[in-house]
Amino acid sequence: MKKIINNPNDVVSEMLEGFARGNPKIIYFPEFAVISRKEKKRKVGLVSGGGSGHEPAHAGYVGKGMLDAAVAGNVFSSPGPDRIIKGIKEANNGEGVLLIIKNYAGDIMNFELAKELAEMEDVQIEYVIVKDDVAVPDSTYSTGRRGIAGTVFVHKIAGAKAEAGGTLEEVKKVAQQTIDNIRSMGMSMSPCILPNVGKPAFELAENIMEIGMGIHGEPGVEKTEIGNASKIAEVLTNRILEDMDFIGSEVALMVNGLGGTPLMELYILNNEVSKILDSKNIKIHRTFVGNYMTSLEMSGASVTLLKLNDELKELLDAPSDAPSFHV
């Protein structure tokens, strides 16, 4: 195992401490593995989180116009309710708190428990569940579709609505509208190595890619020989377009790396996806290319489409100073 770490058991705490040292607008609570905004404002608070290993998610999206707090679990493990409650308390500025949860059983269980405990202290809380992955209807880790890179668009749009003074009901409504209009599909070409395990989490032959693999290495829909960028773009994009009608729509496009894919390759993939969308009369309003929701050093990518209307477009374009999502 070749990794720039110290003790494998300390990777999350040392990663968060290093993140905090590089970002003066946030506060780090090491005993809870929580990152929160230093600036407090009377508005609806947004909290998200999940297992570590998906950086820059979720701490990288804490900032003006996005999240108010992010809660980290151990690598690929949901944070416990005590950590989530701390995140809720840091995000609560008197107008209620919205929890943005990815559709994994552990996350849902722990966030719902934290919600119930916080409500006992008279905190007004709502939540939404992101399930944008079109790869499989069900998986080992979730009931229904998995939440993957499209979650970042939910952070951005709900965060902008909250920053603009929306009520808890309004922020939840626009977050749910965003979720309903997002579809994602991913693929992997190599495994990742969990620091405390020291060996690959699964195996893929040298010339094989897995279509639809999840961000924790969950099974996809098929293993096939690695194709060129054009073929990969066709497989991922067509699967999304088969699931939802985007024809004639205006969209935001995200081409997301899983941690081990060079930007050169992501831009090549973006070029191929964009050509497909152009051919189908799907107008791209904005494109985001980079590492937004990763899986340690896994080589691979995902494509996300968000169908836009005037409100979603305005909120997507609103300012943000989150470290990993500047607008």
**For this structure, is 216 an active site residue?**
yes
Record the tokens describing residue 234, joined without a space: 């066709």
CB contact at 8 A, 124 and 97? yes
Which of 233, 121, 125 has the alpha carbon at shortest distance from 186? 233
Q: Catalytic residue among 58, 155, 216, 285, which?
A: 216
Find the largest Cα–Cα distance for the chain: 55
Alpha carbon distance 129, 121 (integer Å): 23
Determine the residue type at 243: D
DSSP assignment string, 114-126: HHHHHHTTT--EE
254 burial type by CB count under 10 A (0-12 exposed, 13-18 middle, 19+ buried): buried
DSSP letter assigned to residue 79: P
Alpha carbon distance 318, 66 (integer Å): 10
**For this structure, is 285 an active site residue?**
no
Alpha carbon distance 199, 3 (integer Å): 11
Which of 141, 98, 147, 94 has the alpha carbon at shortest distance from 122? 94
Alpha carbon distance 194, 76 (integer Å): 9
Per residue, the 3-state secondary structure of 131-177, as one string, reads CCECCCCCECCECCCCCCCCHHHHHHHHHHHHHCCCCHHHHHHHHHH
Determine the residue type at 37: R
Q: Which residues are catalytic?
A: 54, 216
